[in-house]
Structure 1
């Protein structure tokens, strides 16, 4: 099943080994927003950004990321729902 265009990823991860494949899937399926919520969200966002950028040779690799370590889940879900790029689209919560 394809991913939604707006995703809230919960941190911390249960299985770190799934992160790279998940980010690559987000890129391949045109996810526009990856909002990361929970403890360690800032560090996880940085890791995701490095996966997206890779060696920097492909300018087409882009994914907007945000981190929300201390914000309530409802606030982050509302942010994702209101995301301008895809107003009204579904927001998917992901636990890795």
Structure 2
């Protein structure tokens, strides 16, 4: 079983071709929190928000998203650990 809180550490700018599949997997997993740190963090966060909303505006699942463009991975992990969610305290760190 996967953690419901994810810290996504990005090494490349967001593009639909590069990242949409990964973001859709997070939605399908019903994660509750996604914190993005690294290259183009705000664009990755924004893309996940739009995918959650859906093309028809009828969101099927809510994910709290945050972008941390000027913070360290350790700081973002600490933030995620302190975030309360139903899925418990575990945080999964994904490098992409």
| Range class of TM-score, shorter chain | 0.7 to 0.9
Instruction: Using the TM superposition, give the Cα deviation of residue 87 of structure 1 relative to its aligned residue in structure 2, in angstroms.
Output: 7.6
TM-score w.r.t. the length of structure 1 is 0.80
Instruction: Using the TM superposition, give the Cα deviation of residue 13 of structure 1 relative to its aligned residue in structure 2, in angstroms.
Output: 3.4
Instruction: Using the TM superposition, give the Cα deviation of residue 58 of structure 1 relative to its aligned residue in structure 2, in angstroms.
Output: 2.4
8 Å Cα contact 1:81-1:88 kept in structure 2: no
Aligned to 1:13: 12
**Consecutive unaligned residues in structure 1, runs of 5 or more:** none
2:2 is the alignment partner of 1:3: yes
**Consecutive unaligned residues in structure 2, runs of 5 or more:** none
**1:7-45: CA deviation from partner (whole Å, max 9, x where unpaired):** 010123389535222222212222000000013111221
Matched residues, number: 95
Aligned to 1:45: 45
Instruction: Using the TM superposition, give the Cα deviation of residue 6 of structure 1 relative to its aligned residue in structure 2, in angstroms.
Output: 0.5
Q: Alpha carbon RMSD of aligned pairs, Å?
A: 2.3
TM-score w.r.t. the length of structure 2 is 0.80
